[in-house]
Amino acid sequence: MITILFQIAQEILNLYKWAVILGAVMSMLVSFNVLDTRNRFVWMVGDFLYRITEPALRPIRRVIPTFGTIDLSPVALIFLIYIAQMLLARIYAAIVYGNVSGLFL
């Protein structure tokens, strides 16, 4: 049962990581006028990705300084997701295998 919960948590983090990547790419394509937001489908996908990723990106944008038009907050969020996945794997190993020393290394 615990294995299923940890796998679901890992997959949710993976999906969120891909949502952040897609949101950043789509934002860049819209800003370069490759995608037109007047298209209903493009607008719906962009709005969905914005609503999902913006609550996590907003606090990061307050901390990271701006570099002109370059937004580094998606990179920082992907890095934080990666750290969360590593911590989740160590917690899983500590619970399932009894490897408590792996939590502190």
**Residues in the chain, overall count:** 105
What is d(CA 86, CA 8) in angstroms, rounded to the nearest whole number? 15
Per-domain residue ranges of the chain: 2-103
Res 104: pLDDT? 67
What is d(CA 60, CA 64) in angstroms, rounded to the nearest whole number? 6
pLDDT tens, per residue, the chain with 105 residues: 788 999 999 999 999 999 999 999 999 999 999 999 999 999 999 999 999 999 999 999 999 988 888 889 999 999 999 999 999 998 998 888 887 766 666
